[in-house]
Amino acid sequence: MGSRVRFRCEKCAFGTDELAVGWGKAGRDSYWGGLAHCPECRALTVVNLAEARANKRDHRCPTCKGLLKLIDGTSERVPCPKCGGGLDQVVLGSWA
């Protein structure tokens, strides 16, 4: 099952919208939401890792088109797009 999460920064009060990470009942072949951030513009986003691509590592930022860096699950420190501090994860529930 997938998780619905939000991230918040205590330092600067930045917060994300609800993000859908993981996969549902259909399995990883349909949708596999992977957390990613853009080193260029510092955007935080979710990419569909199930998409068929020639190069699975070539995910682009929807904001600036820079290369995204995948974040290993939700255990890796997620940088705040505004101040660079660490974001705290809030689990809102699950989705199927």
Listed by start position, the domains of the chain span: 1-96
Q: What angle do CA 5, 3, 64 make, to 5 degrees?
A: 55
CA-to-CA distance for 88 and 69, rounded, in angstroms? 19
Return the pLDDT at 61. 93
Query: 13 is written with which tokens?
Result: 């009060």
Return the pLDDT at 81. 87
pTM of the model: 0.79
Return the pLDDT at 53. 57
